[in-house]
């Protein structure tokens, strides 16, 4: 499968909110890199990480507007959005949307590296507010 198709399938799995489906698209030594440069390695660790994230932001979405691919590397540009769940509810006041970019390094038909580029300021502000309640 071509790298762009693999990366877009990965986005579809993220948007499904099903961590198991997402993990199936990762290499065993998959590396996730957050905007601050923090790296998490391993398919199982990332499956658990995505399960936690989907519980915290159940409506998380990636909207891809532009794509670029060269060799095994794909760059996606667009927006990410979601709502932080608080006390089991999704209050629109706890929602955010931000321009974002993602870099996928593909190995065969799986994603070996997924790197996120987004300014987390709006998300941090919401989390800070929710923690002070």
pLDDT level of residue 132 (50, 70, 90 thresholds) = confident
pLDDT at 133: 72
pLDDT at 124: 87
How is residue 77 written in tokens?
């540009």
Contact 77, 65 (CB under 8 A): yes
**DSSP code string of 19-60:** HHHHHTTEEEEEEEE-TT--EEE-HHHHHHHHHHHHHHSTT-
pLDDT level of residue 112 (50, 70, 90 thresholds) = very high
Query: Mean pLDDT across the stretch 89-115?
Result: 96
Interval 115-127: pLDDT, tens: 999 998 888 899 8
pLDDT at 126: 92
Interval 25-80: pLDDT, tens: 999 999 999 999 999 999 999 999 999 999 999 999 999 999 999 999 999 999 99
């Amino acid at each position: 499968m071509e790298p762009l198709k693999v990366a877009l399938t990965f986005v579809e799995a993220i948007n499904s909110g099903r961590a198991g489906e997402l993990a199936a698209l990762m290499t065993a030594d998959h590396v996730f890199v957050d905007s601050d440069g923090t790296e998490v390695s391993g398919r199982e660790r990332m499956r658990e990480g995505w399960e936690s994230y989907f519980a915290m932001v159940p409506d998380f979405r990636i909207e891809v507007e532009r794509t670029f691919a060269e060799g095994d590397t794909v760059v996606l540009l667009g927006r990410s959005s979601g709502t932080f769940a608080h006390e089991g509810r999704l209050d629109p006041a706890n929602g955010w949307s931000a321009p974002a970019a993602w870099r996928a390094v593909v190995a065969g038909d799986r994603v070996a590296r997924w790197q996120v580029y987004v300014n987390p300021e709006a998300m941090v502000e919401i989390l800070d507010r929710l923690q002070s309640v």
